[in-house]
């Protein structure tokens, strides 16, 4: 199964809508609740990142009986130093993002902790692609 | 402790009950940083926060948190209430500070996540 959701940059009222849709689908498929939580926490942090930093993005979800793969591709500023961005506490978030309860440099570490594999590719001035895979039985 | 008891201890008001008032709550987590909330393993807790925006509701939704207590009389928007309703989350509000709210509930027997 494949699903795709658009993410609007800067629109905090909608941030989380795509992750919420994925959660509903995983619940319908009777995926274990603890696994659903891991998946949607990672997705939500990634979705908030797109809203916080990018012009827009797309979340593409591919599901089979064993795993979920999610690719989030955005058009945005890109990440100059991915290793630095992965460090807990490092953040380039605006004051507005911080007012929303994010921007403490925990997003990427939270994503990493909650998926089984994580790949990030980024080109400065073009955008970032995040690919996450989580297995249902582990 | 049920949400009804929490309401009594803090003289809190119910903004949205979502049939959660008799649900048993053992643990609480207090934060204004939503990434902190997203980093904890526990679900089935009450989230105590002074932050009031739609992302608080989304964070609870993703974390399987079924009740939120807003402290210091924070304004909860219709958009927040709508999101909470969709996700089956109860919303409470009290006038007390975060510190006092947490202290009262701790003394009453609510446990920390860690």
The residue of chain B nearest to residue A19, with distances taken between CA atoms, is: B62
Q: What is the mean pLDDT of residues B39-53?
A: 92
Selected residues 62-101 of chain B with any CB under 8 Å from a CB in chain A: 62-64, 79, 87
Check residue B42 and give its pLDDT.
82
Share the mean pLDDT of chain A: 96
**Using CA atoms, how far apart are residues B28 and A53, in angstroms rounded to an integer?**
31
Pair A66, A136: CB distance under 8 Å: yes
Pair B46, B25: CB distance under 8 Å: yes
Around Cβ B95, how many Cβ atoms within 10 Å?
Answer: 13
> B61 touching A, CB under 8 A?
yes
What phi and psi, each to the nearest 5 degrees, are found at residue A45?
-60, -40
A56 Cβ contact list (under 8 Å, min separation 6): A6, A7, A8, A9, A50, A74, A75
Q: What is the mean pLDDT of residues A72-99?
A: 95
- B28-45 tens-digit pLDDT: 999 999 999 999 988 779
CA distance to partner chain B, nearest, from residue A68 (Å): 16
**Using CA atoms, how far apart are residues B80 and B70, in angstroms rounded to an integer?**
12
A104 chain-B contacts, CB cut-off 8 A? 33, 35-36
Confidence at A33, pLDDT banded by 50, 70, 90 = very high
Residue-by-residue DSSP string for B68-89: EEE-TT----HHHHHHHHHHT-
Indicate whether A88 pLDDT > 90. Answer: yes
> Residue A89 burial by CB count (10 A; 0-12/13-18/19+): exposed, middle or buried?
exposed
Put simply, the answer to whether A101 touches B61 (Cβ < 8 Å) is: no
List the structure tokens of A135.
């297995």
**Is A32 strand, coil or helix?**
coil
- A95-121 tens-digit pLDDT: 999 999 999 999 999 999 999 999 999
Indicate whether A138 pLDDT > 70. Answer: no
A19 chain-B contacts, CB cut-off 8 A? 58, 62
Share the mean pLDDT of chain B: 96
Q: What is the mean pLDDT of residues B60-76?
A: 97
Pair B29, B102: CB distance under 8 Å: no
List the structure tokens of A25.
């689908």
Q: Give the DSSP letter of residue A13.
A: T
Confidence at A45, pLDDT banded by 50, 70, 90 = very high
Q: What is the mean pLDDT of residues A28-39?
A: 95
CATH homologous superfamily of B3-112 equals: HprK N-terminal domain-like (3.40.1390.20)
Q: What is the mean pLDDT of residues B53-79?
A: 97
Q: How large is the C-alpha radius of gyration of chain A?
A: 14
- B76-109 tens-digit pLDDT: 999 999 999 999 999 999 999 999 999 999 999 9
Check residue A137 and give its pLDDT.
84
- A3-29 tens-digit pLDDT: 999 999 999 999 999 999 999 999 999
CATH placement of domain A2-135: 3.30.565.10
Check residue B33 and give its pLDDT.
96
B59 chain-A contacts, CB cut-off 8 A? 44, 101
Cα–Cα distances in angstroms (integers) from residue B108 to residues B3, B9, B30, B70, B112, in the given order: 12, 8, 16, 18, 12
Check residue B43 and give its pLDDT.
74
> A12 touching B, CB under 8 A?
yes
């Amino acid at each position: 199964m494949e699903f795709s959701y658009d993410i609007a940059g800067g629109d905090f009222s909608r941030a989380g809508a795509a992750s919420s849709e994925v959660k509903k689908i995983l619940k319908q498929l009777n995926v274990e609740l603890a696994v659903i939580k891991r998946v949607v926490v990672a997705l939500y942090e990634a979705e908030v990142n797109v809203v916080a930093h990018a012009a827009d993005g797309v979340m593409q979800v591919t599901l089979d009986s064993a795993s979920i793969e999610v690719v989030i591709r955005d058009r945005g500023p890109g990440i100059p130093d991915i290793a630095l961005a992965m460090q807990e506490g490092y953040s380039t978030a605006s004051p507005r993002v911080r007012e929303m309860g994010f921007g403490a440099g925990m997003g990427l570490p939270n994503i990493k902790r909650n998926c089984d594999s994580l790949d990030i590719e980024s080109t400065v001035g073009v955008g970032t692609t995040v690919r996450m895979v989580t297995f249902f039985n582990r | 402790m049920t949400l009804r008891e929490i309401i009594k201890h803090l003289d809190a008001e119910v903004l949205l009950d979502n049939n959660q008032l008799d649900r048993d709550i053992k643990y609480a987590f207090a934060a204004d940083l939503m990434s902190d909330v997203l980093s904890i393993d526990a679900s089935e807790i009450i989230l105590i926060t002074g932050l009031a925006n739609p992302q608080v509701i989304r964070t609870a939704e993703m974390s399987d948190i079924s009740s939120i207590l807003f402290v210091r009389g924070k304004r909860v928007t219709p958009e927040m209430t709508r999101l909470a309703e969709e996700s089956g989350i109860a919303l409470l509000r009290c006038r007390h500070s975060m510190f006092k709210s947490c202290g009262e509930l701790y003394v009453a027997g609510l446990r920390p996540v860690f």
